[in-house]
Amino acid sequence: MSRPAEPFARARYVRRSPRKVRLVAGLVRGLRVSDALAQLQFSPKHAARDLAKVIRSAAANAEHNWDLSRDRLWVKQVVVDPGPIMKRIRPVSRGMAHRYFHRTCHITVVVEERPEPADGRQGRRRPSARRAEAPVVEREAPALPEASGEAGEGE
């Protein structure tokens, strides 16, 4: 088997709904690995533990197999695919049965090494959207109505 192009880690058959894991994956996509793990550590979502485990594994793979520096690793891509669904039956009243599903997912995390920014900034790297700025229109303050009937005039 050939070597993959980028360091990654994959957790398969995770007993968590893919929809719930994708909510957490959106929080850490594009962050530095250390920042992503800190974000997940304090997340109230249960899927954060599963995702943190995969990110730690991807960072370890990059460090051990690719000789990359752990301090300069960023989460490049997080993919959450649906896994097999275990279908179960629960008996209910009048001799009927309801089906329910235990959903699973496969989590794949790809990391990359980025050089330190020259200006020392950290955080997400977002694509720059070039938009034409609208011209600024200065408005004058509305004129206050003159008060009629002031004391001392015309009496």
The model's pTM: 0.73
Q: What is the pLDDT at residue 1?
A: 44
Q: What is the pLDDT at residue 4?
A: 64
Phi (first) and psi of residue 45, to 5 degrees: -75, 140
- CA triple 111-8-50, angle to 5 deg: 90
Q: What is the mean pLDDT of each run of 10 residues along the chain (155 residues)?
A: 78 97 96 96 97 97 94 95 97 96 97 80 58 67 68 55
Q: What is the 3-state secondary structure (H, E, C) of the chain?
A: CCCCCCCEEEEEEECCCHHHHHHHHHHHCCCEHHHHHHHHHCCCCCHHHHHHHHHHHHHHHHHHHCCCCHHHEEEEEEEEEECCCEEEEEECHHHCEEEEEECCEEEEEEEEECCCCCCCCCCCCCCCCCCCCCCCCCCCCCCCCCCCCCCCCCC
Q: In what order do the strands lie in the sheet with 8-14?
A: 8-14, 105-113, 73-82
Task: Kindly list the domain boundaries of the chain, sorted by start residue.
Answer: 8-113
12/18 Cα distance (integer angstroms): 12
Beta-carbon neighbour count of residue 51 at 10 Å? Answer: 29
CATH topology of domain 8-113: Ribosomal Protein L22; Chain A (3.90.470)
